[in-house]
Amino acid sequence: MSLRHALLGLLSAGPASGYDLLKTFEISLANVWPATQSQLYSELTRLDREGLIEVAAEGPRGRKEYRITGEGLAELRHWLVEEPPTQSRRSDMLLRVFFLDTVTPDQAHGYLERLAVQARKEHAALRGVREQIIGQGEDALRLYGDLALEWGLRLTAAQRDWAEWAAARIAALPHQSTVPTETLTETLTAPAEAIEPAAAE
Amino acid sequence: MSLRHALLGLLSAGPASGYDLLKTFEISLANVWPATQSQLYSELTRLDREGLIEVAAEGPRGRKEYRITGEGLAELRHWLVEEPPTQSRRSDMLLRVFFLDTVTPDQAHGYLERLAVQARKEHAALRGVREQIIGQGEDALRLYGDLALEWGLRLTAAQRDWAEWAAARIAALPHQSTVPTETLTETLTAPAEAIEPAAAE
DNA sequence: AGCGTCATGTAAACTGTTACATGATTAG
DNA sequence: CTAATCATGTAACAGTTTACATGACGCT
């Protein structure tokens, strides 16, 4: 359960309300640990009940500003340095690759091309983010944000390169000529045809 | 819900029982889409009820061998080529990076070093897998498995390189001397200290 | 006065994990 | 005969998503 640690982490930078935290999730944490409003509010209630955070102040429309407690900070640090990182490696994208032999090579090629395009877009978006924050306040909080951003850039670049490489490999297959896509629909219900192996890179 | 598509994909290669599929999940699909026995059996029952798979034969100890139906194959192909890939990018590992400023630079450095070690191990393991399957039957099913393996190799390499780069950046910080780790425990309850930015790469 | 945003909460459905439970068959 | 493996299922719980519901405040 890392949602609680995400919340503790955000609150370690200063007090905030559920609404504030929700915005932060939508903007900066969306790509790392998405969370919904519903989930967020109930987790905050639980954290408060368990003493890891507390209500610092109450505002206008029932607004409750939470603050992290000493116990909460200790838990956050424990999670950071003690608990082994469990990368949940569930990948929709890669799962499909395993079964690409059930569709035509053209369709498989199309899938990989789309992955490459998507990776290029994401990479460009991250570059945009980097341009925006360049020259801004260079404090401790930014250093680690930069590391995360760099990871995003490297990951999307790797994904792009791999998808292009993989698409090219499929395009290099024999019997992969200029078949118009219209005629492929009727082959959909036929069993996947055997594919000759491509030469190693 | 991609578990059902994983099952359909495996069954597209030939009939199998829940037990067989479970083994396949543990061996070859564990790193892509982990699933538990419990989850698997109930999903098979559901797929059967919905007509996407059917019982082909019954074996010795209540064994039920499932076979994919035409409807199931259609659903698999639809998922592969029509539905946009939703990469669930929830990353425990990256989430921690954002909050690394709440612990000492030494501890942050240690975290990144451990990530690098882990990535190196995983990369080596995948290399081992590649050695094992080299020279084996080179059929259509293998081609796409190779693409997936290559992605694993590239991903773990990228993770290793990034973690090393990030660790080096933290090690290059000022005031980052040879502090014995024993003395760090008392700084755990103190507020995280401000960190000077490192020069760009 | 009314619209947009701020602000929080609950309920239901679904997905995933852990643990419990049971029994048949085969190999040694 | 007995231990390992084959083989399936259920129950309880934890985490996530979607939808519903409500109301206060601030600006024009």
The whole-number mean pLDDT for each consecutive block of 10 residues of chain B, a chain of 201 residues, reads 95 96 93 95 96 95 96 96 84 95 96 96 93 74 89 97 97 63 38 34 32
Residues A136 and A170 in one domain: yes
Q: How does residue A177 score in pLDDT terms, banded at 50, 70 and 90?
A: very low
Q: How far, in Å, CA of B107 to CA of A179, rounded?
A: 58
CB proximity B37–strand C (7 Å threshold): yes
Q: Where are the beta strands (DSSP E) in chain B?
A: 16-17, 53-58, 64-68
Quick check: A96 and B79 CB within 8 A?
Answer: yes
B1 nearest nt, CA–C1': C15
The answer to whether A100 and B144 are in contact (CB under 8 A) is: yes
Number of structural domains chain B divides into: 2
Q: Which of A99, A107, A118, A150 to mutate to test the interface with B (most CBs of B within 10 A)?
A: A99
Give the number of other CB atoms < 10 A from CB of residue B65.
Answer: 18
Task: Kindly report, residue by residue over A8-50, the tens digit of the pLDDT.
Answer: 999 999 999 999 999 999 988 999 999 999 999 999 999 999 9
Q: Give percent helix, percent strand, percent coil of chain B, each to the nearest 5.
A: 65, 5, 30
> Within a domain: residue B134?
yes
> Within a domain: residue A101?
yes
CB proximity A45–strand D (7 Å threshold): no
Residues of A in contact with B6 (CB under 8 A): 95
CB proximity B49–strand D (7 Å threshold): no
Residue-by-residue DSSP string for B6-36:
HHHHHHTTS-EEHHHHHHHIIIIITTTS---
What is the C-alpha radius of gyration for chain B, rounded to an integer number of angstroms?
23
> Within a domain: residue A23?
yes
A39 nearest nt, CA–C1': D16
Quick check: A197 and B138 CB within 8 A?
Answer: yes
Query: At residue A61, does pLDDT exceed 60?
Result: yes
Quick check: A144 and B34 CB within 8 A?
Answer: no
Token couple for B76: 């698999």
Quick check: A99 and B5 CB within 8 A?
Answer: yes
CATH number at residue B76: 1.10.10.10
Q: Nearest 5 degrees, angle CA A69-CA A35-CA A29?
A: 75
The answer to whether A95 and B35 are in contact (CB under 8 A) is: no
Query: At residue A199, does pLDDT exceed 80?
Result: no
Identify the domain boundary among A81, A116, A149: A81
> Within a domain: residue B200?
no
Token couple for B112: 């990144």
> Within a domain: residue B54?
yes
Identify the domain boundary among A81, A100, A132: A81
- Residue of chain B with shortest Cα separation from A99: B9
- Domain, as residue range, for A69: 3-81
Residues A17 and A50 in one domain: yes
